[in-house]
């Protein structure tokens, strides 16, 4: 196995680990949704702000999941080339 392929595999594993951490943090913030809903009910935020926050979170999760899946497929391809 060439050094370049080894480096690519290591980099992809690092990317996957980073993306997992990012997703975990974002999903953990979703647990705080109840607090956001309470703030909305107490008129501390507008419905537009509430929806913008949710839409932004969903878009970010989608981007991170896409990167995560792409890196998993690239890892699979790298391992198939080795074998």
Q: Give the tens place of pLDDT for each residue, 49-72.
A: 777 777 777 787 788 888 888 888
**Does 24 reside within a domain?**
no
56 vs 60: CA distance, rounded Å? 6
pTM score, two decimals? 0.53
- Write out the residue range of the structural domain in which residue 73 sits: 46-83
pLDDT exceeds cutoff 70 at 39: no
Number of domains in the chain: 1
**Predicted confidence band of residue 41 (pLDDT cuts 50, 70, 90):** low
Of all residues in the chain, what percent carry a pLDDT higher than 90?
Answer: 0
Which one has a higher pLDDT value, 2 or 33?
Answer: 2
pLDDT exceeds cutoff 80 at 77: yes
**Does 40 reside within a domain?**
no
pLDDT exceeds cutoff 70 at 28: yes
């Amino acid at each position: 196995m060439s050094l370049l392929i080894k480096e690519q595999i290591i980099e992809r594993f690092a990317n996957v680990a980073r993306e997992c951490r990012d997703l975990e943090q974002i999903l953990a913030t979703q647990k705080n949704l109840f607090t956001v809903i309470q703030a909305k009910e107490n008129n501390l935020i507008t419905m537009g702000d509430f929806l913008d926050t949710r839409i932004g979170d969903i878009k970010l999760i989608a981007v991170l999941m896409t990167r995560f899946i792409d890196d998993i497929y690239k890892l699979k391809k790298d391992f198939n080339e080795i074998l």
